Structure 1
Amino acid sequence: MSASSSSDISPLSPLGDRHFDGLADKFATSLYATSRGEIRLRLLNALLPRQLDLRGQRVLDVGGGLGQMAAWFAERGHRVTLAEPAAEMLARAREALEGQPVELIQTTLQALPEKAPGPWSLVVCHAVLEWLADPREALRILASLVAPGGQLSLMVFNRDALRLSNIVKGNLDKVLDDRLAGTGKRQRLTPISPLTHADIEAWATENDLVMEAVAGVRVFYDYLRERDPQGDTLTKLIELEHRYCEAEPYWRLGRYLLYTLRKPTIQEKDS
């Protein structure tokens, strides 16, 4: 069934979260098959080896969607468990990951303490919290899954970037009224809970997580007048994204904010 049909659009879950059954085609074509998707994946390819302690450990990929990140870690020698609530997304991931050392489970983030308790030396949760009704509680759950000394790779949709993007587009009344979040009930992929850097700083502290690294993903692209740059323009833009994604003040403009959060060991807590 085509994702263009309004009947395919998944409603909010009983917890008020947005899941993505019926939207796998939209994700594959509108996000990952475009220049913005290419920039996102290329930046992650460069940033993750710098930010993470990659030692072939077990990885929990939370809300793994179509399986791009699970494949990235599996290809680098990690044993990956991909958790995804949407059956259609999980089926696409299973096809894409055939032959890879990846276990797939259909579950929500909230059920992970029961379904995949770990503890995990590396938890990956990219572009998930902004689709949940209670992202603060979600981060608490994620922190509980990380082993002492382990890391959480967290990427969230940046509310401040969404505000700036709407101003650039001329949606001034929308910004003045602070109507930035989506409803989760339409096909348009505007997150229901866009987050700020201050949110992540506060919630990381609440859960005894140490912020080791932060970067912006797509710090320039979303403000361009040219909607889908190609060729030499795209090449130069990608170079600029790499150059400034970790530099002040540009990382703060990223459409997504990428964090590496570490759970201290018991010895570190006692010291």
Structure 2
Amino acid sequence: MATTAVASTSPSPFGHELRRRRTLRRVSQLELAVLAGTTQRHLSFVESGRSLPGRAMVVRLAEALGLTLRERNALLLKAGYAPAYAESPRDGAAIEPAMTALGSILTGHLPYPAVVAGARGELVLANEAFGVLTEGAAAHLLEPPVNVLRLALHPEGMAPRVVNLAAWGRHITQSVRARAAAHPDPELDALLAELSGYLPPGVVPGPDHLGFAVPLRLRTGDGELRLLTTLTSFATAVDVTLAELHLEAFLPADAESGELLRRREEARTGVGPEVSRSRRE
């Protein structure tokens, strides 16, 4: 009996992964096709396994989905192509200028604390004022590799000194949860579960909020600090390592907190703020 060959419609590993990431971001085939500069029909063929896109199209699809550089490399590998983005060691020559620049920013941010951390909260760099956040923390939390997210919420870390632990902790876990949802990562999921377990139940935003911001209210030996944070990243980085770094800078939420940090810096250096600033310049 003669048989008829039927083309397989089973998704390829690439097609399956593309559909998974598209669904995760709630983007329709038509929307993704428009964003990537192709047709819905072609995208349908790609997801079903009937067509394999070229390397440039894979990159365009990854960009259209807002994938990280690490995820873009993974998608290229699924399609059978070599990664497009380098992943340099943090102490390598390729990103040394960027690391030097980050170090200068940290120093320039004094007397306020600032850190550079990786994608999962691993500490990369910190300025001298970071000590105000680590006071009293257990030694095992300060041994490399230090994780600033764990340090912030661990009961042997900053948590006992955080006046508004419930609200501030929820702010942290929500940020981690949002990242984990957009960029699936088993290690980040495990960290999120750990961090969530440190928080008290029944968190309701209250008067501690400043507009849309949640200040960190931290007890210190010199008084209570109220700090806001800003996050900065290399939006145009083409190196995986550099793209995953972010700078978190703490700023005083009131004049009293600013003065407290200036006094601490003066005590540490033995010079007044104006002299300290001129030396940095």
Q: Which of 1 and 2 has greater Rg?
A: 2
State whether TM-score is above 0.5. no
Larger % of strand: which? Answer: 1
Name the TM-score, length of structure 1 as normaliser. Answer: 0.31
TM score, norm. by length of structure 2: 0.30
